[in-house]
Each structure stands twice: as C-alpha cells, then as structure tokens.
Amino acid sequence: MAIDLQQIGKRFRFYTNLKELDMDQLKAMTGSDEATLANIISGKNYLLDDLVAIVKNFKELNPQWLIYGEGSMFKPMNGDGTCDDHHKGCLKKDKSAYLQQMKDMLIELDAAEVAKGHHPDVEALKAKLDQYRATH
C-alpha cells in the first residue's frame, strides 16, 4: 500500500482541528519546528521519520488511520474503558461553526478517498454480508 503524503496531511489536519490544537500548541507538544509541522499538515515533502517523531506525542491517535486511512482515528479504549484524554475538553469555538468545519473536512477526506478508489467501509460490509450468507 502506497503512502500518500497529502492524505496523511489532511488526516493530521483533521485530527488537530478536532482537538483544537494551534501551531504553537503543536510545536510545544512535539518539539518540532513550524516548517516541519506546516509541511506535514499541507502534505508537502517531509521525512517519515519526522512524522513518526511527531505522532508518538499523540497517544490516542491511531497511526494506521493517520498513514493509511484504515480503522478508527483513535486507538481503542483501555480495558477499563479509559483512554488518554488530557487534551479533551470543552469546545473553545462556536459549536455550530466548529461542527460545520468538521463536516466540511470529513467531506473533503471522503472525496479524496473515493477519488483514489478506496471504499473500505463498503468492502467491509460486503465481506460481512458474504460471510453471513455463507453461514446461513
């Protein structure tokens, strides 16, 4: 499976917008410089080593989703139902504008995935239907 830097950038931007992290917060959290972070977010050329060094600072972010668009954005919950949530909190933005921004970004991500010919959810549902038919 090929790695698409632009898709990674879109997914990382989606995650950081969801968490309401600005550039100064990202720099402080990751120890990375603004140019590297800006390149990742915009999907420009960057080293995967830089991405890995940054991603390890986000304990709840699923790297499989970030890199390949597979699975959930967040890692599964711990056995006790908890997860690393020290960045969760109340929305600082106007809720309706924030939700519209997230919806627009989801549409953009979905359109990019469809354009690449990816239909993971549809294919997974088809496989489950086939499995169900085979057993019943």
- C-alpha separations of 121 from 9, 33, 54, 71, 97 in Å: 21, 36, 28, 10, 28
d(CA 90, CA 54): 24
Contact 108, 101 (CB under 8 A): no
Fold of 5-135: 434 Repressor (Amino-terminal Domain) (1.10.260)
CB 73 within 8 A of CB 15: yes
- Kindly report the backbone phi and psi dihedral angles of residue 122, in degrees, each rounded to the nearest multiple of 5, phi listed first: -65, -45
Cβ count within 10 A of residue 130: 10
Is residue 61 within 8 Å of residue 75, measured between CB atoms?
yes
User: Where exactly are the structural domains of the chain?
Assistant: 5-135
- Answering whether pTM is above 0.75, one says no
- Burial of 54 by CB count in 10 Å (0-12 exposed, 13-18 middle, 19+ buried)? buried
* pLDDT by residue, tens only, the chain of 136 residues: 568 889 999 999 999 998 999 999 999 999 999 999 999 999 988 888 899 999 999 999 999 899 988 888 888 765 544 444 443 444 455 666 666 677 777 777 777 777 767 655 655 656 666 776 677 5
